[in-house]
A and B are shown apart, each in its own frame.
Chain A
């Protein structure tokens, strides 16, 4: 029985194990003596056994088998339990852990939209760039086997990066010996990096063949980045603003329309193995949405002419600053908005922070005589006077607590209302606006309502960051002197855009069109979306506006006018000079002058408004007609030529300035 059971116990494994060397069943003794490759060691034949198969009793294999079976079962059970734990119980945790390593993701940077002028000329674009960096530890003697590694590298890099050798050397030999990252140059063009790369690889091949040389540029690295480029340099910099180090708009239109320009970053996520994408595993990709292009109403050429003219004049007059605004009278579009001094947004490290705003919108100042046109508009619209109404202008006028005078001492003038504007008489203006109401308080109320309608004391509608609404107090709060100074533009403040808008309103037949700076946007799909139509409000009647335009002509045209320097032969030019006492922003006291000139042309069929103001001219004349008149003329001529506006050929109005009593 033992024999049989032994035999039986031995059989199953033998049958289960496949093998080519399986002996014939019939030749069992042979098979027994020759253990096959899959045979169990328990089957090892022993000499005594072979000798006496029937007599020797072997240890029972059954418990042994059971033990092995049990062990196997335990092991397998452990596996099964673990399997269940991994696959079923904690499946999500492990899957998440695996995914952390399996999937890599990175953001796809959205391309920032460009800014163009009204004809599509790029004013701001984004370009690929590289930050050139270095690892100073790779320049040490230990690495290069030479002592002057940094010197050699600096000598090679200096001409490419356009820096001093000493500057680069200082970065490559930092005081902190463990420093492993220095920024050699910020935002260089791909061409610069390519030069360095070529040099580097040439040096690498050289040092590979010639052990005497070292690759001194081995530690120079690059970080790809993008850079905002303003191809025209400081042109329209005040409007455009700049982009800060985070890639967000830091000022101007870049800041105002940042979300539109920035677009939306995309995302890529894919399974990786050994750094390469596993193609069979799906990857998720959210493509980046590039930012929209913004088209401004600015005309680059006119902007350039305006900027050139104001920069020259500010320099010549040694003034604090100056602004020029050119506006299309019919559409309210701003064709140019120039500031001086400005800044170059390509290189902010050299820019002075005080110059980095858009002063034409951010400075509030007292306009002076250019504001008289609003008083005249009120007087004409209310019907209390006509351009020919006689006004007797004494040398001094006592009103409230003050004695008012004109810019020059004069005998008593016998002027028409037109003459009051042409000669810019403060006294005449006070007298005329006094007629607006039965009492002075009433007159103030009427004047205030007109000033408001002309856009004073409120935002111009450009929605520009940092824009000032100016200061226009309520008539109830006007001080005793303010109620007589506001008619001629003191005691009230506005920004250059508001001032330009006043003249555009008159040029546009008394309808104020809110100024606009953005013409439209071009989305990533290439579709152009025009900007919302600007609001239009009627301020004065068309008749009043026409009359005012003719009166403004006298300022430039008449021999006695203050704005003769702004004459453009062949054209009818309307304009008004202004020379205001300026509040020094540092002290809050009157010091210096604000010189200005505002006007439009052609006077009978207005197309373009130009406004110029210069703050605190310290050298030469400070009269608006003297220093801003020529700027006005230059810019206006350029704009007329650019927009091809011919003269109308009509006869000048030639309203009388004075009368003989």
Chain B
């Protein structure tokens, strides 16, 4: 029986903490609750922002990696073209097409007009290999660039509607596709 007042005292203290019960500490509670709400809300929003920032970063990374990849591919393809053009074999062939011939015995002309070595006239160009200009650098570059865009629409337009037509259509594809391999010299 003697515990009852103590009990009451504890309960009273408890009751003071509970909302709804009028007590003198009520005024100070609002900022605390606000703080907690703010912290929670802030944390949530922070997480959201962080997550989206991360996602954005990873999207950007993927995009940039894709760009790098395609640019590397392009650079390597262009380098291949350059190499094909500058290969000695290709140069010789194109020079011959222009009617050039290999020089004879070496001779040097000094600034003062003296000639070192024994100069001789160049032999006539071989009429068989001598065609009019076949220097088609721009066309060849075009043909290497073209297949990628054209190859995909051409077959899909024609192939897909009628599967029986598949066999003839590839004949249209090769006319586009192997061009780079045949016209690019020196490979």
Chain A residues in the interface with B (C-beta under 8 A): 4, 8, 11, 15, 18, 20, 22, 25, 121-122, 125, 127-128, 146, 148, 151-152, 155-156, 158-160, 162, 165, 189-191, 194-195, 198-199, 201-203, 206-207, 210, 212-214, 229, 231-233, 235, 276-277, 279, 300-301, 304, 568-571, 637, 640-641, 644-647, 649
Q: A122-B79, A190-B69 are in contact. List 14 more A-B contacts (CB 8 A).
A: A22-B18, A25-B15, A121-B86, A195-B148, A195-B151, A203-B159, A213-B160, A233-B89, A568-B105, A569-B120, A570-B106, A570-B116, A645-B106, A646-B108
Among B124-178, those with CB < 8 Å from A are: 147-148, 151-153, 155-156, 159-161, 163, 166-167, 169-170, 173-174, 177-178
Interface stretch, picked from B6-14, B22-30, B31-39, is B6-14
User: Which residues in B have their C-beta under 8 angstroms from that of A569?
Assistant: 105, 117-118, 120
**A146 vs B159: C-alpha distance in the bound complex, in angstroms?**
14
Type the 1/0 row for B87-121, where 1 means its CB is closer than 8 Å to any CB of A: 11100000000000001111110000000111010
User: Which residues in A have their C-beta under 8 angstroms from that of B151?
Assistant: 160, 195, 198-199
**A373 vs B179: C-alpha distance in the bound complex, in angstroms?**
55
User: Is the pair B88, A301 in contact by a Cβ cutoff of 8 Å?
Assistant: yes
A573 to chain B, nearest CB (A): 11
B69 to chain A, nearest CB (A): 8
| Of the residues A158, A191, A640, contact of B170 by C-beta under 8 Å | A158
User: Is the pair A152, B163 in contact by a Cβ cutoff of 8 Å?
Assistant: yes
**A121 vs B187: C-alpha distance in the bound complex, in angstroms?**
16
A23 to chain B, nearest CB (A): 11
**A207 vs B147: C-alpha distance in the bound complex, in angstroms?**
23
B68 to chain A, nearest CB (A): 11
User: Is the pair A203, B156 in contact by a Cβ cutoff of 8 Å?
Assistant: yes
User: Which residues in B have their C-beta under 8 angstroms from that of A202?
Assistant: 152-153, 155-156
**A142 vs B151: C-alpha distance in the bound complex, in angstroms?**
28
Closest residue of chain B to A641 (Cβ to Cβ) is B106
Instruction: Give me 27 A-to-B residue pairs in the complex whose CB atoms sit less than 8 angstroms apart, sorted by A's number.
Output: A15-B14, A22-B18, A152-B159, A152-B166, A156-B159, A189-B73, A189-B77, A190-B73, A191-B73, A194-B73, A195-B152, A201-B152, A202-B155, A203-B156, A213-B163, A232-B83, A232-B88, A277-B58, A570-B105, A570-B118, A637-B106, A641-B103, A644-B108, A646-B116, A646-B117, A647-B106, A647-B108
Chain B residues in the interface with A (C-beta under 8 A): 1, 3, 7-8, 10-11, 14-15, 18-19, 54, 58, 69, 72-73, 76-77, 79-80, 83-84, 86-89, 103-108, 116-118, 120, 147-148, 151-153, 155-156, 159-161, 163, 166-167, 169-170, 173-174, 177-178, 181, 186-187
A535 to chain B, nearest CB (A): 32
Closest residue of chain B to A300 (Cβ to Cβ) is B88
Closest residue of chain A to B57 (Cβ to Cβ) is A279
User: Is the pair A15, B11 in contact by a Cβ cutoff of 8 Å?
Assistant: yes
| Of the residues B72, B160, B169, B181, contact of A210 by C-beta under 8 Å | B160
User: Which residues in A have their C-beta under 8 angstroms from that of B80?
Assistant: 127, 189, 229, 231
Closest residue of chain B to A191 (Cβ to Cβ) is B77
Q: Which 4 pairs of residues, A with B, have the shortest CB-CB distance?
A: A231-B83, A570-B117, A198-B152, A159-B174
User: Which residues in A have their C-beta under 8 angstroms from that of B3?
Assistant: 8
Closest residue of chain A to B187 (Cβ to Cβ) is A233
Closest residue of chain A to B61 (Cβ to Cβ) is A277
| Of the residues A194, A233, A277, A571, contact of B148 by C-beta under 8 Å | A194
Closest residue of chain B to A210 (Cβ to Cβ) is B160
Instruction: With a 10 A CB-CB cut-off, give which of A151, A194, A207, A301 has the most chain B CB atoms.
Output: A194
User: Which residues in A have their C-beta under 8 angstroms from that of B174?
Assistant: 158-159
**A195 vs B150: C-alpha distance in the bound complex, in angstroms?**
9
User: Which residues in B have their C-beta under 8 angstroms from that of A231?
Assistant: 80, 83-84, 87
User: Which residues in B have their C-beta under 8 angstroms from that of A645?
Assistant: 106
User: Which residues in B have their C-beta under 8 angstroms from that of A641?
Assistant: 103, 106
| Of the residues A22, A148, A235, A568, contact of B163 by C-beta under 8 Å | A148
User: Is the pair B11, A25 in contact by a Cβ cutoff of 8 Å?
Assistant: yes
User: Which residues in B have their C-beta under 8 angstroms from that of A162?
Assistant: 178, 181
User: Which residues in B have their C-beta under 8 angstroms from that of A194?
Assistant: 73, 148
User: Is the pair A649, B15 in contact by a Cβ cutoff of 8 Å?
Assistant: no
A368 to chain B, nearest CB (A): 28
Closest residue of chain A to B110 (Cβ to Cβ) is A646
When A148-B163, A231-B84 are in contact, do A640 and B152 touch as well, CB less than 8 Å?
A: no
When A159-B178, A160-B177, A191-B73 are in contact, do A647 and B15 touch as well, CB less than 8 Å?
A: no
| Of the residues A125, A156, A301, A649, contact of B116 by C-beta under 8 Å | A649
B174 to chain A, nearest CB (A): 4
| Of the residues A4, A125, A155, A159, contact of B177 by C-beta under 8 Å | A159
User: Is the pair B88, A199 in contact by a Cβ cutoff of 8 Å?
Assistant: no
B37 to chain A, nearest CB (A): 17
B36 to chain A, nearest CB (A): 15
User: Which residues in B have their C-beta under 8 angstroms from that of A203?
Assistant: 156, 159-160
User: Is the pair B76, A155 in contact by a Cβ cutoff of 8 Å?
Assistant: no
**A260 vs B24: C-alpha distance in the bound complex, in angstroms?**
82
When A276-B58, A569-B105 are in contact, do A155 and B88 touch as well, CB less than 8 Å?
A: no
Closest residue of chain B to A203 (Cβ to Cβ) is B156
**A330 vs B120: C-alpha distance in the bound complex, in angstroms?**
30
B106 to chain A, nearest CB (A): 5
Closest residue of chain B to A20 (Cβ to Cβ) is B19
User: Which residues in B have their C-beta under 8 angstroms from that of A191?
Assistant: 73, 77, 147-148
User: Which residues in B have their C-beta under 8 angstroms from that of A160?
Assistant: 151, 173, 177
A217 to chain B, nearest CB (A): 10
**A206 vs B151: C-alpha distance in the bound complex, in angstroms?**
15
User: Is the pair B156, A206 in contact by a Cβ cutoff of 8 Å?
Assistant: yes
A1 to chain B, nearest CB (A): 10
When A158-B170, A647-B116 are in contact, do A213 and B161 touch as well, CB less than 8 Å?
A: yes
When A155-B167, A637-B106 are in contact, do A232 and B152 touch as well, CB less than 8 Å?
A: no
When A210-B160, A229-B80, A649-B116 are in contact, do A195 and B11 touch as well, CB less than 8 Å?
A: no
User: Is the pair B77, A198 in contact by a Cβ cutoff of 8 Å?
Assistant: no
User: Which residues in B have their C-beta under 8 angstroms from that of A570?
Assistant: 105-107, 116-118
| Of the residues A20, A199, A210, contact of B155 by C-beta under 8 Å | A199
User: Is the pair A155, B105 in contact by a Cβ cutoff of 8 Å?
Assistant: no
**A210 vs B160: C-alpha distance in the bound complex, in angstroms?**
9
User: Which residues in B have their C-beta under 8 angstroms from that of A148?
Assistant: 163, 166
When A191-B148, A232-B83 are in contact, do A199 and B181 touch as well, CB less than 8 Å?
A: no
**A212 vs B161: C-alpha distance in the bound complex, in angstroms?**
8
Closest residue of chain A to B186 (Cβ to Cβ) is A233
User: Is the pair A4, B1 in contact by a Cβ cutoff of 8 Å?
Assistant: yes
User: Is the pair B166, A637 in contact by a Cβ cutoff of 8 Å?
Assistant: no
**A198 vs B159: C-alpha distance in the bound complex, in angstroms?**
14
B153 to chain A, nearest CB (A): 7
User: Is the pair A156, B173 in contact by a Cβ cutoff of 8 Å?
Assistant: yes
User: Is the pair A637, B105 in contact by a Cβ cutoff of 8 Å?
Assistant: yes
User: Which residues in A have their C-beta under 8 angstroms from that of B76?
Assistant: 127-128, 189-190
A288 to chain B, nearest CB (A): 15
Closest residue of chain A to B171 (Cβ to Cβ) is A159
When A15-B11, A160-B177, A213-B163 are in contact, do A568 and B88 touch as well, CB less than 8 Å?
A: no
When A231-B80, A646-B117 are in contact, do A156 and B170 touch as well, CB less than 8 Å?
A: yes
**A15 vs B169: C-alpha distance in the bound complex, in angstroms?**
85
**A277 vs B153: C-alpha distance in the bound complex, in angstroms?**
38
**A158 vs B173: C-alpha distance in the bound complex, in angstroms?**
10
User: Is the pair A155, B117 in contact by a Cβ cutoff of 8 Å?
Assistant: no
Closest residue of chain B to A568 (Cβ to Cβ) is B105
User: Is the pair A128, B163 in contact by a Cβ cutoff of 8 Å?
Assistant: no
A183 to chain B, nearest CB (A): 20
